[in-house]
Amino acid sequence: MLVGRTLKDRYRIYDRLGSGGAATVYLGRDSESGQMVIVKLVHGHLVNERFMGRFRREIELLQAIHNPYVVQLYDWALDEYDEETSQNLSYIIAEFIEGHTLADVIDTRGPLAETDGLEIARQVALGLADVHSAHIVHRDIKSQNIMITPDNTVKIIDFGIAKGQGQATLTASAHFAGTLYYAPPEQILEAHGVDHRADIYALGVVLYEMLTASLPVKAREFGTVASRIISGKLDPITGVTDPVAALVTQMMALKPDARPASAGEVVTRIENILGGKPAATLLDLDIPATTTSMKPLTTTVPLRPQNRYELLTMDGKHLPLTLHETVIGRSHPRDTSVPDIDLWVMGVEDARTASRRHCRVFFEGDRYYLEDLGSMNGTFLNQQQIYPGGPHPLAEGDTITAGRVRLTFQQAASL
């Protein structure tokens, strides 16, 4: 745990934002510039020659890009000994981007207006044009890797599987790299052979997703999804104007040669469709910070029987609180992370209004607390909105509202 420590006598770590299969992400501050930064710390068990090749490549690629629509890399360490932690650490220090992922915006607001979707796609294409000019293919463009800031700027993030010209990838030729729903046929069949047109295909899927709040393949099984993408059997986009439908369809063309030749061409096509209209405001989003000041839990105290509580849904479902920390939210087929209480899978009414990691209930000392996790539609305790970084104690009969999902905190029935 790095919270409270300082890296390189410069980067003070304030908060843990989350953890994935490859790294843990922290919020910090650069004492020299005063800027907030993101620290992406690679899990220690992954630090070997094979994985470090990928990590080193991400650093090299980000160093080559200086674009307002692409996350900026500031500093890094590769298996360096840190005196304060007495460990060898590998991490990157990158630009802190306040806002929400495009995936969360789509999930919360539903289909976006054409002008909003086109403006977001235009900014992504402007970023990709610079990325591609550096002979880099991102290979994982998706709504989760696109941030929308409070001032309506789009940022492309996560270059973990990007590939530069002449660089070998870490995946074997038979191993798929990327996110299936957004991947073009050639990336599924042979990840090494893709060029910049793979990113154009993926951006076409993102544009489709923004304008329909769905994906061009609705199946969830890997084999079915892959088969439909490889054969070009995508659901056609509907409910949009003809020029937009034509652009999306061409961007998602089966053959790379049939797609727009460059990201710059996509920018031009979008600007022609917009016809000089004022820039979209991207829904005038009132976006809170992505950070949540999650207080570390004391896990040495067992949950005693007399402290066992549950959440009761409006339709009578009993959700036992058996963990020290229970994250409430909803899953999505394109996201491998699943909350402890998955409102979507449980079929709870209005589950779609909850964020993927909406709020958490945790046990500490002798009571339970509720904390918002930077949700889009807000968390309410007894009809009063609560905010990230401020845990609130829970009492018998309290009402928790996540989006429009209402839950009652109550003592569980005796066994």
- Catalytic residue set: 140
* 8 Å CB contact between 109 and 287: no
Q: CA-CA distance, 224 to 227, in Å (whole number)?
A: 5
Cβ neighbourhood burial of 149 (10 Å; 0-12, 13-18, 19+): middle
Which residue's structure tokens are 């079915």?
Answer: 224
* 8 Å CB contact between 341 and 319: yes
Reduced to 3 states, what is the DSSP secondary structure of residue 9? coil
* H or E element, residue 398: none
What's the token pair of residue 385? 């909105």
What's the token pair of residue 49? 């020659």
Strands 341-342 and 325-329, by their bridges, are parallel
Cβ neighbourhood burial of 21 (10 Å; 0-12, 13-18, 19+): exposed
Q: CA-CA distance, 112 to 378, in Å (whole number)?
A: 20
Strands 384-386 and 379-381, by their bridges, are antiparallel
Edge-first strand order for the sheet with 73-82 is 6-7, 11-19, 23-30, 36-42, 87-95, 73-82
Torsion of CA 376, 378, 379, 380, to 10 degrees: -170
Beta carbons within 10 angstroms of residue 75's beta carbon: 16
* 8 Å CB contact between 252 and 216: yes
